[in-house]
Structure 1
Amino acid sequence: MKSYSYSLINVFAPSHFGGNPLAVFYEADGLDDNQMQLIARQFNLSEVVFVQSSSHLQAVKKLKIFTPDYEMPFAGHPTIGAAFVLHSQLNLPDEYILETNAGLVEIQHQNNNISFALKNGIKAANAPLSCTECAGILGLEIADIASEPCYVNTGVEQLLVKLSSRQAVENCKINANLFVGNAFIKGSLYVWHRTENNVKARLFFTSQGAVVEDPGTGSAAANLGGWHIAKELTPLNVSISQGDEINRPNRLSLTVDEQNTIFVGGNTILVGKGEFYLP
């Protein structure tokens, strides 16, 4: 029987029991995709990240990111959580590169605050959903929808919907009958409202036929940066609050510089370690 070590990390965590939980398998070269998928299903976290040798000379390691249902090309909190573990395990410098299936990602450390930088390009397009349809899906009034829904992809595609107030974000009550199986949502929907340098956000996605809320979503924060780039509303420097409605407060930083590089970061906390046994 083989054993694989893992660490449990809370990412974007303002406190020990806040943030988005993650399991990091930091020596996963012996695992194949099917085994990684089964392990992710066993943990039943939003994602589990497996660290393997990189095929790129620039990157120190490659990340394989799995939800309980499928592999993702990129995700924010697994990237930051893996970086937290690797920085100490490999005695890495404070700046280096990791490989993901969506491309290379630059990592920067400032103590326990870690950020990733994306320069892989942005895809943005209006979604074929009306404001009326979005309001119905979100359980809101039409006046709560502040702009046309938009697909954004800076590493993984998501549907973004800007709302008219912080209260509207808090009031979202997903109509599962309209959400699950809706081909235009494409699996996940990110709602947000910005007041000066503060953003209130929530993300909903489907898992095993149910609607689930993610406590903290780095990829969606990056896509929010991409949305602002597409709207020519950069540079940008905001703090994002997410997860409070499900008692898992997350705090993310989002910056877009004058070169339109997107930086997403947050605080990370180690909450446990263990061994996983595989026959």
Structure 2
Amino acid sequence: MAVATPGTAHRFAQVDVFTEHVLLGNALAVVFDADGLSEQRMQAIARWTNLSETCFLLAPTDARADYRVRIFTPDRELPFAGHPTLGSCHAWLEAGGRPRGAEVIQQCGVGLVRVRRDGKRLAFAAPPLKRSGEADAATRAHVARGLRVDESELVAVQWVDNGPGWVAALLRDAQAVLAIEPDYAAMRPLEIGVVGAHAQVSECAFEVRAFIPGLGSPEDPVTGSLNAGLAQWLIGAGLAPPRYVASQGTRLGRAGRVHVERLGDDVWVGGHAVTCVRGEARF
């Protein structure tokens, strides 16, 4: 393997997303001014940070966008992801970025994504689903094996894919979601989201978990893209109110809070973000 020498200095930030309190959300690395980095270099940096996602901010190629982002996991690029969208926007604004209009327009692999400021929170407009509808019998059985549950425990299984490939399972309640001990080998190659309602709604209406067997940390702490797909399904089917908060990351010692709201034809997915690290990195 060739040894790479330190390269150009880049502004760098590490952000905790879907939380107001550091260490309780989902961490994200953000590399600024990344236009000179090759795709191979970006992937190497994402492997090095070893976070669920690392984002690279570039000049937009679409005149309607305020900035462009490329999103990498440690092993591949994603066309879209939710916590990188909010975390990148937070870092861009905090570094002095100024949107051209009332909303921030992010360019990424799925096209243009709108981000609005909702008080201290940011929220993105959920992109259209690339794949939706009820999963077939074979997929349903695959999901049950991966989650180590009997098929009878799956209230519904639905495709909610907006880029990363999510298939989602609705369980009877939040406690059933928290009790899952997944079989990641049996789950492959599916990426499975699980949701269940809390019996007594106080702050949070739903509990969510996200299983990604291809990653080194195969349970994602808090997942914007999954929550976006879940919201489009659950609200559209009348299984969730038009405005609610979901909890995610409980089993991992996190306290992620995802704020969902349908306004007209748009489903907005939002949360707080806090910067934990700010400085310079030589890549």
TM (norm. structure 1) is 0.89
Secondary structure at the aligned position of 1:262 is classed as strand
Q: CA deviation at 1:131?
A: 4.7
CA contact (8 A) 1:176 1:211 kept: no
Secondary structure at the aligned position of 2:74 is classed as coil
CA contact (8 A) 2:143 2:192 kept: no
| Amino acid of the structure 2 residue aligned with 1:107 | V
Q: Which runs of 5+ in 2 are unaligned?
A: 1-6
Question: What does 1:201-240 align with in structure 2 at a 5 Å threshold?
Answer: 201-207=208-214, 212-228=218-234, 231=237, 236-240=242-246
Coordinate RMSD, CA, aligned: 2.1
Secondary structure at the aligned position of 2:254 is classed as coil
Structure 2 residue aligned with 1:33: 39
Alignment counterpart, residue 13 of structure 1, candidates 19, 29, 43: 19
Q: Distance in 1 between matches of 2:131 and 2:236?
A: 9
| % identity of equivalent residues | 29
Structure 1 residue aligned with 2:106: 98
Greater shift in the superposed pair: 123-132 or 84-93: 123-132
Aligned residues between the structures = 270
Q: Distance in 2 between matches of 1:88 and 1:213?
A: 29
Question: What does 1:255-270 align with in structure 2 at a 5 Å threshold?
Answer: 255-259=261-265, 261-270=266-275
CA contact (8 A) 1:37 1:68 kept: yes
| Amino acid of the structure 2 residue aligned with 1:190 | G
Specify whether residues 234 and 175 from structure 1 end up closer, same or farther in structure 2 by C-alpha distance, changes over 3 A only.
closer
Q: Which stretches of structure 1, 4 residues or more, deviate above 6 A after TM superposition?
A: none
Q: Distance in 2 between matches of 1:189 and 1:161?
A: 7
Q: Distance in 1 between matches of 2:254 and 2:24?
A: 5
CA contact (8 A) 1:60 1:96 kept: yes
Q: Distance in 2 between matches of 1:145 and 1:120?
A: 25
Aligned: 1:169 with 2:177:
yes
Q: Deviations over 1:247-271 (max 9, x none)?
A: 1221111112232x12100010111
Q: CA deviation at 1:228?
A: 2.8
Q: CA deviation at 1:7?
A: 0.4
Structure 2 residue aligned with 1:134: 143
Q: Which runs of 5+ in 1 are unaligned?
A: none
- Greater share of residues in strand: 1
Q: Distance in 1 between matches of 2:251 and 2:257?
A: 13
| Amino acid of the structure 2 residue aligned with 1:212 | P
TM (norm. structure 2) is 0.88
Q: CA deviation at 1:166?
A: 1.0
CA contact (8 A) 1:234 1:256 kept: no
Secondary structure at the aligned position of 1:21 is classed as strand
Secondary structure at the aligned position of 2:19 is classed as coil
CA contact (8 A) 1:26 1:50 kept: yes
Q: CA deviation at 1:236?
A: 1.6
Q: CA deviation at 1:154?
A: 3.0
Aligned: 1:144 with 2:153:
yes
Q: Distance in 1 between matches of 2:155 and 2:240?
A: 19
Structure 2 residue aligned with 1:198: 205
CA contact (8 A) 2:80 2:162 kept: no
Secondary structure at the aligned position of 1:206 is classed as coil
Q: Deviations over 1:183-209 (max 9, x none)?
A: xx2xx100001346711000000235x
Q: CA deviation at 1:225?
A: 1.9
Structure 2 residue aligned with 1:157: 165
Aligned: 1:117 with 2:125:
yes
Greater shift in the superposed pair: 86-95 or 62-71: 86-95
Secondary structure at the aligned position of 1:207 is classed as coil
Secondary structure at the aligned position of 1:16 is classed as coil
Q: Distance in 1 between matches of 2:94 and 2:104?
A: 13
Aligned: 1:272 with 2:277:
yes
Q: Distance in 1 between matches of 2:139 and 2:47?
A: 35
Q: CA deviation at 1:233?
A: 5.6
